[in-house]
Amino acid sequence: MTGITHIRYPIAALACWIAFAYTLVPLLRGHRRNAGLTALCVSFGCQGMYLSMSTPVRWTGTLFGTITWYNVSVQLWIIAVLASQQILLIHWIHPRAEARVRARRRLLLLAVVPVTMVVLFFLATLQGPPRNVFKHPGDQPFFVAYQAAYLTAFVVGKVLVARACWHFAKLTDHAWVRRGLRIAAAGAAIELVYPAGRYADVFLAQYGWNPLRWSDVSRTTLTVGMVLNIVGWTAPLWGPRVSAARSWLADYRSYRLLRPLWLALHQAHPEISLPSSTGSDLSALYDLRFHLHRRVIEIRDGCLALRGHHGDPGAVPAPGRGAGERPAEVEAAHIAAALAAGPRGPGPVPDGRATDAPDDLSVDGPAGTARKRPDTDGAPVPMAAGGPDFSADVAWLVQVSRAFARVRPAAARAGQ
């Protein structure tokens, strides 16, 4: 399965270098004093170095054969990743002054790991070329100690990172920071499969453990965990853009769903639209929020214009009328009935008041939308308020528009 290594490592390395460049740009633009961002950039660079150096098997030596200083340097890049991630979390969790002190202490403590690894590997080379075959661990005790020091540092570092990420995710109010930290914590937890497999390679081979059988599994989980780390650590940078894109798509969907109601009102009362309004959904791609606001306002103006129409809303059955009747469908039925009946002619209405008498209307809701009082002669209710904010109003009007598209054919038949 060595072919998998040729695929997974280059892809993961490319992702790391993209993340490295993405975080390096703000540092070059003047954020050099941001220690947390610097640590994040260093972390991606170290991961990229590890994965890039591990990609070609012919450069790194055989998987379970002779170990060289080149292989040691690859593992030291992983230790550097763990150190930079811990420094990053320290700067995120603690105030700046305290974080600097804690970061220096942590770096001094972590510096013991690479020094120990180098010393142990040097001592191992004095006994001959170290080999990744541990059927007789006593034959190369220094190299076994080297592996134990490296793997223990890996496990401790990943556990600390996973715990800190999960804990800090509970404290932040920023949605994408919270999601990113949880993803990073999951990545760190998945990466623990790698040292577990390597521990087994070192200490269980003498009992029949086959290292070749699980090598791809352990290394694949290491790559997957690193990719999740990339996604998690960069989530606060690209996450808001994803949210903005989702919001834009939701607005455009609402804009299109409002079209049936808007078009019917526009055809009945063209004066509700500005002269520049084309009604095309494509024209709203530029400055969508403005066009959505304008469509909502024009729908409300059109509903107010229905005060001068004939029509008995009860003549048009709303879907589900009777048990479980929904207000949006009732509003849609009222509007469809008024449009089907057409405008009244000049003169008094049946109760002797003019059609434009202002006391026929009451204001319902903070949006200032008008409604017919219950004691009127059955003229259509122009529109009920959808809620205290624009998003709630849009959601309400979308419900009415969708219901209107269903009930309008019945209203048209009733008005014939």
Structure tokens at 199: 């521990």
pLDDT of residue 343: 72
The mean pLDDT value of the chain amounts to 78
Contact yes or no for 39/106 (Cβ under 8 A): no
Give, in degrees to the nearest 5, the angle at Cα 316 between 313 and 319.
Answer: 115
Structure tokens at 340: 């089907």
* Cα 54 to the center of its chain, rounded Å: 31
Cα dihedral 399, 405, 406, 408 in deg (nearest 10): 120
pLDDT of residue 5: 52
Residues 6+ apart with CB under 8 A from 269: 301, 302, 305
Band of the pLDDT at 176, cuts 50, 70, 90?
Answer: very high
Structure tokens at 224: 């997957």
Which residues is 361 bridged to in the sheet? 372
Residue 263 has pLDDT above 80, yes or no: yes
Residue 136's SS3 state is coil
| Low-confidence winner among 116-120, 162-166, 207-211, 324-328 (lowest mean pLDDT) | 324-328
Q: First and final CA of the chain: distance in angstroms?
A: 74
The radius of gyration computed from the CA coordinates of the chain, to the nearest angstrom, equals 34
Structure tokens at 411: 């209203």
Residue 34 has pLDDT above 90, yes or no: no
What secondary structure letter does DSSP report for 380? Answer: P
Over the stretch 387-414, which tens digit does the pLDDT of each residue have? 457 888 898 899 999 999 888 776 555 5
Residue that the structure tokens 């008094």 belong to = 348
Which among 8-12, 63-67, 197-201, 366-370 has the top mean pLDDT? 197-201
pLDDT of residue 370: 40
270 vs 122, 175, 223, 300, CA distance in Å? 86, 44, 61, 13
Strands (E) located in 218-366: 361-364
Over the stretch 308-364, which tens digit does the pLDDT of each residue have? 665 544 444 444 444 344 588 888 888 888 888 777 655 554 444 444 433 333 333
pLDDT of residue 363: 30
208: left (phi over 0), alpha (psi -120 to 50) or beta: left
Give me the sign of the Cα torsion angle 193, 194, 200, 203: negative
